[in-house]
């Protein structure tokens, strides 16, 4: 790393989506605030950014997303009440989220897609590489991914996406990357990208999972990117232009992730995330695992 290549410090978290898959829970509550065990899903994502050394977080929000701002702010009334009770443990939990990172917010206004959401970050990010973390993807805190992506970006320049091999039947749910190997087992060069291809046309089974470290050149490209799949401005389409033309701000590399990842935007995966993370918790795990063992045994007997 040298002077002309400052350390990446900014993370952008798009959080303007409507969360329709979780209605009615998300009628008046942002989907990002749904608890995974006892913490809102979005807090795991901010903790992940901070864990990778990114302490400046910009959230792209929209209407009805005020609880996000409140969650990462102080709550003096609640703190006061807990201090009076002498409940230090809960006080620490309340203060944890407001002490995590320097938070910034900008509203997306028109919901014109992920590419448009990222473009809303341009004035804040300026001319430095930055990370994007999608709130629906929860990366298990025990399997760090973002720190490795930052490392690869600092070495290779350009942009880096997180990739995961998925069943070919699932590739239509993701951005899909054609790749070439590099000297590192977990790093590939991305040669082509397609947003949510039909399985028959997919160039591979490498899916983009919601972590990116991007060159700021992506902003200029996004400004010129026409709406793509679903009539939305797609980040994948802008990255495809970077992958195809290194002089435009490429290259694009992929870090292949083999750890635990949950799609908390999907109800089944959301439940799996809660069960797994609850089992691992020191405070809740032992009791919960016991109960789960009994429950599973009963279920098996019923089969």
- Minimum CB distance to ligand G1P smaller for 114 or for 273: 114
Task: Write each residue from 219 to 238 as x if it is in contact with ligand G1P (CB under 6 A), else as -, in one continuous string.
Answer: ---------------x-x--
Touching ligand G1P, residues 35-94 (CB under 6 A): none
Smallest separation (angstroms) from ligand G1P to the CB of 294: 35
Q: How many residues bind ligand G1P (CB under 6 A)?
A: 13
Q: How far is CA 45 from the centre of its chain?
A: 6
Among 54, 134, 145, 188, binds ligand G1P (CB under 6 A): 134
207 binds ligand G1P per the rule CB under 6 A: yes
Among 137, 188, 190, 250, binds ligand G1P (CB under 6 A): 137
Q: How far is CA 154 from the centre of its chain?
A: 20
Bridge pairing between strands 35-36 and 56-61? unpaired
- Minimum CB distance to ligand G1P smaller for 36 or for 278: 36
- Minimum CB distance to ligand G1P smaller for 106 or for 162: 162
Handedness of CA 98, 103, 104, 110 (dihedral sign): negative
Task: Write each residue from 93 to 122 as x if it is in contact with ligand G1P (CB under 6 A), else as -, in one continuous string.
Answer: ---------------------x--------
210 binds ligand G1P per the rule CB under 6 A: yes
- Minimum CB distance to ligand G1P smaller for 14 or for 249: 14
- Minimum CB distance to ligand G1P smaller for 62 or for 175: 175
Tokens of 268: 């089944």
Smallest separation (angstroms) from ligand G1P to the CB of 38: 24
Among candidates 124, 140, 104, which has minimal Cα distance to 219?
A: 124
Among 72, 174, 206, 262, binds ligand G1P (CB under 6 A): 174
Among 158, 175, 228, 254, binds ligand G1P (CB under 6 A): 175
What does the alpha-carbon distance between residue 161 and residue 177 come to, in Å, rounded to a whole number?
Answer: 9
List b or e across 262-294, with b for residues whose CB sees 16 or more CB atoms inside 10 angstroms. Answer: bbbbeeebbeebbeebbeeeeeeeeebeeeeee
Smallest separation (angstroms) from ligand G1P to the CB of 296: 29
On whether the CB atoms of residues 132 and 252 are closer than 8 A, the answer is: no
- Minimum CB distance to ligand G1P smaller for 139 or for 217: 139
Part of the chain binding ligand G1P (CB under 6 A), chosen from 30-38, 60-68, 132-140, 248-256: 132-140
Smallest separation (angstroms) from ligand G1P to the CB of 136: 6
- Minimum CB distance to ligand G1P smaller for 48 or for 136: 136
Which residues are near ligand G1P by CB under 6 A? 114, 134, 136-137, 174-175, 195, 207-210, 234, 236
């Amino acid at each position: 790393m040298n002077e002309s290549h400052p350390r990446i410090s900014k993370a952008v978290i798009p959080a303007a989506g409507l969360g329709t898959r979780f209605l009615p829970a998300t009628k008046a509550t942002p989907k990002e605030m749904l608890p995974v065990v006892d913490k809102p899903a979005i807090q795991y994502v901010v903790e992940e950014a901070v864990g990778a050394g990114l302490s400046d977080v910009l959230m792209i929000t929209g209407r009805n997303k005020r609880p996000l701002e409140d969650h990462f702010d102080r709550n003096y009334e609640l703190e006061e009440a807990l201090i009076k009770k002498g409940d230090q443990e809960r006080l620490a939990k309340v203060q944890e989220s407001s002490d995590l990172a320097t938070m910034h917010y900008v509203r997306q206004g028109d919901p014109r897609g992920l590419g448009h959401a990222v473009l809303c970050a341009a004035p804040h990010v300026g001319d430095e590489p930055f990370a994007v973390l999608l709130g629906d993807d929860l990366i298990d805190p025990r399997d760090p991914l973002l720190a490795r992506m930052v490392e690869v970006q600092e070495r290779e320049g350009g942009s880096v996406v997180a990739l995961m091999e998925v069943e070919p039947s699932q590739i239509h749910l993701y951005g899909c990357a054609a790749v070439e190997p590099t000297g590192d087992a977990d790093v590939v060069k991305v040669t082509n990208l397609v947003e949510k291809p039909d399985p028959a046309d997919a160039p591979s089974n490498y899916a983009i999972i919601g972590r990116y470290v991007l060159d700021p050149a992506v902003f200029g490209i996004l400004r010129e990117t026409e709406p793509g799949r679903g009539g939305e401005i797609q980040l994948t389409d802008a990255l495809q232009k970077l992958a195809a033309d290194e002089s435009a701000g490429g290259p694009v590399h992929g870090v292949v992730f083999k750890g635990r990842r949950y799609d908390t935007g999907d109800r089944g995966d959301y439940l799996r995330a809660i069960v797994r993370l609850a089992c691992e918790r020191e405070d809740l795990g032992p009791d919960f695992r016991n109960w789960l063992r009994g429950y599973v045994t009963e279920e098996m007997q019923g089969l």
